[in-house]
């Protein structure tokens, strides 16, 4: 497979004219117009197995695919799981049996082919103006000097984008939001595929969606999703230097203090309170109304309505008992000797 050559034959701009960009929905990347699987196969110079006549309707990561989607797999032990997922079209690197109704696309490097397809349908667009004329900014929004607004950004009425903040392409900011100076909304997902010690960047095609009445502190960073969206729920308030990873979903009226970090694809339900310098691992669910004390580290799901503390965190009362016990420990050891 000669991906490099292909890029010259089928530039992104031309493809966009044929098929348009993605229509993005939360957790899903759909083509504006379905594309014949034979055309997809031709684009990545694949060998087609199974149903060669159907239409591809979108492209996604394996854990987010829906029928009509293209997915990829390059590790033999995951072949079965991927082929039997909701995905209709699977890019893979070894001949294998194709179940009825599916299409297999055989290439040398499935990840490269997947990444190539994503970029064809959602090309990287470098920012070229401080405020893009392709952004949809409500006339009653305020854009302060030095703020950069990317292509296809939408900014609602009454929102203030303060000095030197950066709103990257495709981000959506609702009504009456405040984005403090230097905050970066829509930086790339930190998501790499490791192959022989080398990290290969997974193209980010998700967006950041900031709902109404949200406050984002100075110099925060909110990464866009890989394929899904990063969402900050209505009424949530976030202090300075907070990091929100790719595909994180934050509920309504959450409060997040300074220097806290939330890893990729974690969910905060409504009314969660995170104190300062908290860290939350990826793929975690924090129940509604949970309160997490400062400097805690969370590595598993937490029930709502309770208060937690520690690294790793326990319920506050339990952790305080442990801390009290540890304070008595040196004396205890002395006595025992």
Q: Work out how close the CB of 274 gets to a copy of itself at its nearest, in angstroms, rounded to a whole number.
A: 12
- The angle formed by the CA atoms of residues 156, 234 and 206, to the nearest 5 degrees, is 75
Q: Roughly how many angstroms between the first and final C-alpha of the chain, as a whole number?
A: 71
Radius of gyration of the chain from Cα atoms?
Answer: 23
Q: Work out how close the CB of 256 gets to a copy of itself at its nearest, in angstroms, rounded to a whole number.
A: 10
Tell me which H or E stretch contains 33: strand 28-36
Q: Is residue 246 annotated as a catalytic residue, yes or no? A: yes
Tell me whether residue 3 or residue 178 sits nearer to a copy of itself (CB atom).
Answer: 178
Cis preceding linkage at 312, omega within 30: yes
Q: Which residue has the tokens 């974690």?
A: 266
Q: Give the C-alpha separation, 135 to 236, whole Å.
A: 24
Q: Work out how close the CB of 267 gets to a copy of itself at its nearest, in angstroms, rounded to a whole number.
A: 17
Q: What letter would DSSP give residue 76? A: G
Tell me whether residue 78 or residue 199 sits nearer to a copy of itself (CB atom).
Answer: 199
Both tokens assigned to 319? 């952790």
Exposure class string for 235-255: b at 16+ Cβ within 10 A, else e = bbbbbbbbbbbbbbbbbbbbb
Q: Work out how close the CB of 183 gets to a copy of itself at its nearest, in angstroms, rounded to a whole number.
A: 8
Tell me whether residue 12 or residue 240 sits nearer to a copy of itself (CB atom).
Answer: 240
Tell me whether residue 120 or residue 223 sits nearer to a copy of itself (CB atom).
Answer: 223
Catalytic machinery residues = 246
């Amino acid at each position: 497979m000669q991906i490099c050559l292909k890029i010259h034959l089928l530039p992104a701009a031309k493809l966009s004219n044929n098929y348009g960009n993605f229509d993005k929905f939360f957790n899903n990347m759909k083509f504006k117009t379905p594309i014949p699987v034979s055309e997809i196969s031709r684009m990545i110079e694949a060998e087609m197995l199974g149903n060669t006549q159907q239409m591809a309707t979108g492209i996604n990561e394996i854990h987010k695919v829906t029928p009509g989607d293209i997915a990829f797999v390059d590790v033999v032990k995951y072949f079965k799981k991927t082929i039997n997922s909701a995905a209709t079209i699977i890019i893979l690197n070894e001949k294998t049996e194709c179940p009825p109704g599916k299409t297999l696309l055989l290439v040398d490097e499935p990840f490269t082919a997947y990444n190539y397809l994503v970029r064809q349908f959602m090309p990287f667009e470098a920012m070229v103006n401080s405020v893009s004329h392709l952004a949809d900014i409500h006339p009653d929004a305020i854009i302060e000097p030095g703020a950069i607004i990317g292509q296809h950004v939408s900014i609602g009425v009454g929102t203030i984008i303060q000095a030197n903040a950066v709103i990257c392409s495709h981000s959506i900011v609702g009504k009456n939001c405040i984005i403090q100076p230097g905050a970066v909304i829509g930086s790339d997902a930190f998501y790499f595929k490791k192959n022989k010690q080398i990290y290969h960047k997974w193209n980010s095609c998700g967006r950041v969606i900031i709902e109404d009445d949200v406050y984002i502190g100075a110099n925060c960073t909110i990464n866009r999703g890989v394929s899904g969206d990063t969402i900050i729920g209505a009424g949530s308030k976030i202090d300075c230097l907070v990091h929100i990873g790719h595909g994180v979903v934050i509920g309504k009226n959450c409060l997040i203090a300074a220097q806290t970090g939330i890893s990729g694809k974690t969910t905060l339900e409504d009314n969660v309170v995170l104190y300062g310098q908290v860290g939350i691992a990826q793929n975690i669910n924090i129940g509604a109304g949970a309160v997490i004390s400062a400097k805690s580290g969370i590595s598993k799901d937490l029930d709502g309505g309770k208060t937690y503390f520690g690294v790793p965190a326990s319920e506050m009362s339990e952790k305080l008992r442990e801390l009290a016990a540890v304070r008595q420990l040196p004396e205890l050891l002395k006595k025992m000797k």
